[in-house]
Amino acid sequence: MTAPLWTPDGPNLVVEGDNVSVTAGLPDGSFRLIYLDPPFNTGREQVRQSLTTQRAAGGTRTGFQGATYETVKGALFRYDDRFADYWGFLEPRLEEAWRLLDARGTLYLHLDYREVHYAKVALDALFGRECFLNEIIWAYDYGARTKARWPSKHDTILVYVKDPTGYHFDAEAVDREPYMAPGLVTPEKAALGKLPTDVWWHTIVSPTGKEKTGYATQKPEGVLRRIVQASSAPGDWVLDFFAGSGTTGAVAQALGRRFVLVDSNSEAVTVMERRLGSAATVVRPRPA
């Protein structure tokens, strides 16, 4: 009998492979926190595997005013042909995320302005509109600036919980940030700092900073640190479907969480192996 890839008392993992194939072998309700930072639908060429999923008959998950997930998906296909392929790529991964979250778990879906409005409708149907927790705006100020429109300098992170009456959220565990107008509060409050809101001002990874791994889409540890602090506790398992440079794992390790990182790019796995060292076991495909 083949040993399972993951067990609750096993090591942290970095797995090379298609995330839907990898996560299919993981048990239901295994993770307190799941972060998805998929490729953005920028219009540039992207190679993706064509995947479909089949929901079991009589499912209990419905969206706003009883609309079914399949109906919403069909509407998305009809609305914009350019979106249909991307939705065919993303939909099975969101299904898997819902299945793998534990009863107190939270999903963070990191997108940009191109697809976030479609994703919000789809997640309302998949999780239930009452499970929507936040729309986080990550604002940064770096890079080129168009003069043809307002320059786009933010990403959006949609936050959904498995159970709106019993999810984990620890505001006190989150690092505080300086007041923008410290003179308007007491010296004691200014020294303590304030809890972040749903708008996060945080620079991108510096090209010359110590965090830099050389991976093109690397996210800053400060952004993931807030996510991991708020929506998991020490010892909890964290899953990243598109792990890239391994920022989720680096933050989880520093905060005493356990993690599974998945990426289909062998170069990304090499970056993570170098970054995380002995903190994770690396699993690569067996030679044919």
User: Six-digit token pair at 78?
Assistant: 């009809």
Q: Is the pLDDT of residue 261 over 50?
A: yes
DSSP-assigned letters across all residues of 150-163: ----EEEEEEEES-
Domain ranges of the chain: 13-40+64-283
Model confidence at 48: pLDDT above 50? no
Confidence label for 66 from pLDDT (cuts 50, 70 and 90)? low
Phi, psi of 134 (to 5 degrees): -155, 155
Q: What is the mean pLDDT of the chain?
A: 87
The whole-angstrom separation of Cα 111 and Cα 36 is 9
Tokens representing 43 are 């219009």
Measured CA to CA, the distance from residue 37 to residue 116 in angstroms comes to: 12
- Given a cut of 50, is residue 55 above it in pLDDT? no
**Kind and range of the H or E run holding 121:** helix 116-127
> Half-sphere exposure (CA, 13 Å, Cβ side) for 53?
19
pLDDT of residue 208: 77
> Using the 8-state DSSP alphabet, how is residue 267 labeled?
H
In the block, tokens 């399972």 appear at 4
pLDDT over 90 at 58, yes or no: no
Alpha helices (H) in 48-101, listed in sequence order: 69-79, 81-100
**Cα separation of 37 and 228, whole Å?**
14
Share of the chain above pLDDT 70, in %: 84
Residue 215's pLDDT is 84
Q: What is the 3-state secondary structure (H, E, C) of 180-248?
A: CCHHHCCHHHHHHCECCCCEEECCCCCCCCCCCCCCCCCCCHHHHHHHHHHHCCCCCEEEECCCCCCHH
Residue 18 has phi, psi (to 5 degrees) of: -65, 130
Instruction: List the CATH code of the domain at 13-40+64-283.
Output: 3.40.50.150
How sure is the predictor about 54, in pLDDT bands with cuts at 50, 70 and 90?
very low
Prediction pTM value: 0.87
What pLDDT is stored for residue 40 in this prediction? 66
